Amino acid sequence: MDRRQFLSQSLAASGSVLLAKSGSGLQLAEQVPAAVPGSKVSSARFPNGFIWGMASAAYQVEGAWNADGKGESNWDRFSHTVGKIKGAATGDVSCDQYHRYEEDVTILKRLNQKSYRFSTSWSRIQPTGTGALNQKGLDYYNRLVDALLAEGIRPFCTLYHWDLPQALEDRGGWPNRDLARYFADFAGILAKNLGDRITVWAPFNMPWTFTYYGYGVGVFPPARSSFNDFLKAAHTVNLAQGQAFRAIKAASSKATVGSAYGMAPAYPKTDSEPDRAATARYHAMNNLYFLNPAMTGEYPKAFVGDIPYDAMGYMPGDDQLMKVPLDWLGFHYYTRRVVSDAKTASQSVSGGHFGTETEGSSGARDPLTQIHVEMPTEGPLTEAGLEIWPRGMYDLVTQISREYNHPIIEISENGCCYLDTLDDNGRVPDARRIAFHRQHLAELARAIADGARVRAYHAWSLIDNFEWADGYSQRYGLTYVDFRSQKRTVKDSGLWYGRVAASNRLDV
Ligand code: FCB
């Protein structure tokens, strides 16, 4: 039996116990490692004005892949290539939010949401990534933003959630330094046209993930596997982040610019000095590699040796281009990591491919950081195979608060995959998803009580959608989608989250 089969069998077993024992999943959750006691859940309170939101991304929800002059993106090309996506799925139609955004905004309103984090498709706005604006593509975002504001929902715009115009991939993709300038032009176009209404901008979603998966290990487009290409791509993205920040601020005086980084709290496998040092390198590479250059102009200490400036394509003065102290920090939390020094690591337990939280299966992840990273399985697992570790939320938020002098924080994503579907009464009783968010939110409330300045939480996702290389085999939505009819049904978790948003408490 391989690890995935083992996981799905144990999941099936634990899931049925959980549902049989408890409607909310809380009782059993109290018996498992890292679970938050029910008393902490019921006493948790969020401050007045706390911003409750939901998140999505253009390629995952919009569909309309070639409508109204949109150009081809790297994800269009990748999903149209045989063998790249589970079930040969594509985002061609997905949940068709391009045509159904009004219905989706109505759901947000019904669930008392105050923020919708969406992303823009670069190739809708500039079909080949440079040059003239495609007005029809921009008009879609005008309509979406206006519909959100009409319902009192804050539009939170991520400029880039992984879909690059294919024409720019053909020019070398992110390892090509010119992309920083093109991206800044794109950012300027958006801020000039939408900046009278959007005040919250994040240039990149999970920059480590798309640069490493796309250029370092090849599980995302353009499927290249070169650590040097990763280093170059990541450096261009750091330059692009800085230049986009300036372009947005120049075009809109109301703009605030932050981030939507993917982060994972990391714990050393043993208390040894090498494992603790490796854990610090993991934190620098995965959590801080794009944050620290923005805040200070400097790369964090992610490497065993010196920073490989030549391999990165670093040029004199780049520190000043990268340095743009962010107005607020946004990051996602899904699951934790356990890290050891690759030279001493036991190679028995390790990662594998779990959606966007992937780790290699053995040895050092790369030659320069020499970290060995595990996705632990001590806690229960979601149906994507990710360990549920609510305490990681507290640890991560308080660590970043400490390290960056108590910045304003937004949780830009948190969520879980469960495959619950419609029952005979037309409901989706996804008690495990309620338990997941409840526990993570209880830990977030604890971090806030201990002084972290967290102002927002975004559940991933408003709606079931295209889950990258996993296609439609994973469901993260708080709203169920029948992909044949496009019918939306708010899941029990969505109804619960709507009550949370209305009351600032979790025992609802
Ligand atoms: C995050 C991604 C998001 C989605 C969720 C499940 O890492 O930002 O697009 O895939 O994982």
Average pLDDT for the chain: 93
Contact 300, 289 (CB under 8 A): yes
206 lines ligand 1 (CB under 6 A): yes
**Averaged pLDDT, 223-236:** 97
The H or E element spanning position 490 is strand 487-490
Distance CA 314, CA 306 (A): 13
Query: Mutation test of ligand 1: which of 61, 206, 354, 475 has the most ligand atoms closer than 8 Å to its C-beta?
Result: 206
Ligand 1 touching residue 467 (CB < 6 A): yes
Query: Is 464 a pocket residue for ligand 1 (Cβ < 6 Å)?
Result: no
Nearest CA to ligand 1 atom 2: 356
How confident is the model at residue 222, as a pLDDT?
Answer: 98
* pLDDT score at 361: 64
Mean predicted confidence (pLDDT) in 240-269: 98
Question: Global pTM?
Answer: 0.94
In the chain, what percentage of residues exceed pLDDT 70? 92
The per-residue pLDDT for 163 is 98
Question: Which residue, 432, 462, 340, 408, is CA-closest to 21?
Answer: 432
Q: Is the pLDDT of residue 8 over 90?
A: no
- For 297-314, how does the pLDDT look when each residue is reduced to its tens digit (9 = 90+)? 999 999 999 999 999 999
Mean pLDDT of 403-432: 98
User: Which residue, by CA, sits nearest to atom 4 of ligand 1?
Assistant: 467
Quick one: which of 376, 333, 390 has its CA closest to 26?
390
**CB of 205 closer than 6 angstroms to any ligand 1 atom:** yes
Residues 6+ apart with CB under 8 A from 183: 159, 160, 203, 240, 243, 244
pLDDT number for residue 266: 98
Nearest to 3 by CA among 348, 268, 372, 339: 348
Report whether 98 contacts 62 (CB < 8 A): yes
DSSP state letter for 152: T
Q: What is the 357 CA–ligand 1 centroid distance (Å)?
A: 9
| pLDDT value at 22 more than 80 | no
Residue 463: closest CA among 55, 79, 117: 55
Check pocket membership of 61 for ligand 1, CB cut-off 6 A: no
DSSP string, 14-55: HHHHHHHH-SSSHHHHTTSTTPPPHHHHHH-B--TT-EEEEE
User: Which region among 33-42, 316-325, 414-423 has the lowest average model confidence (pLDDT)?
Assistant: 33-42
Count of CA atoms in the C-beta half-sphere (13 A) of 156: 28
Rounded Cα distance, 102 and 109, in Å: 11
Element (DSSP H or E) covering residue 340: strand 337-341
Question: Of 190, 175, 210, whose CA–CA distance to 121 is shortest?
Answer: 190
User: Which residue's alpha carbon is nearest to atom 11 within ligand 1?
Assistant: 356
Q: Which atom of ligand 1 is nearest to the CA of 417?
A: 6
The answer to whether 203 and 241 are in contact (CB under 8 A) is yes
Distance 243 CA to ligand 1 centre (A): 25
Q: Measured from the CB, is residue 387 less than 6 Å from ligand 1?
A: no
Q: Is the CB of 208 under 6 A from ligand 1?
A: no
For residues 101-108, give the mean pLDDT. 99
Q: What b-and-e string marks burial along 410-424, b requiring 16 or more CB atoms within 10 Å of the CB?
A: bbbbbbbbbebeeee
DSSP string, 409-431: EEEEEE---------TTS----H
- Ligand 1 centre to CA of 299 (Å) is 25
29 and 435 Cβ atoms separated by less than 8 Å: yes
Cβ atoms of residues 344 and 370 within 8 Å: no
Q: How far apart are the CA of 21 and the centre of ligand 1, in A?
A: 30
Any ligand 1 atom below 6 A from CB of 24: no
Percent of the chain with pLDDT over 90: 89
User: Is pLDDT at 292 greater than 80 in this prediction?
Assistant: yes
302 sits in the region (left: phi over 0; alpha: psi -120 to 50; else beta) called alpha
State the average pLDDT over residues 142-154.
99
165 CA from centroid of ligand 1 (Å) = 20
Q: Is the CB of 262 under 6 A from ligand 1?
A: yes
**Cα separations in angstroms, 381 against 299, 433, 475, 493:** 34, 12, 15, 18
- State the pLDDT at residue 364: 86
* Torsion angles phi and psi, residue 30, rounded to 5: -65, -20
**What is the per-residue pLDDT across 362-389, written as a single tens digit (0 to 9) for each?**
788 999 999 999 999 999 999 999 999 9
Is ligand 1 within 6 A of the CB of residue 241? no
Tell me whether residue 83 is exposed, middle or buried, using C-beta atoms within 10 angstroms of its C-beta: 0 to 12, 13 to 18, 19 or more.
exposed
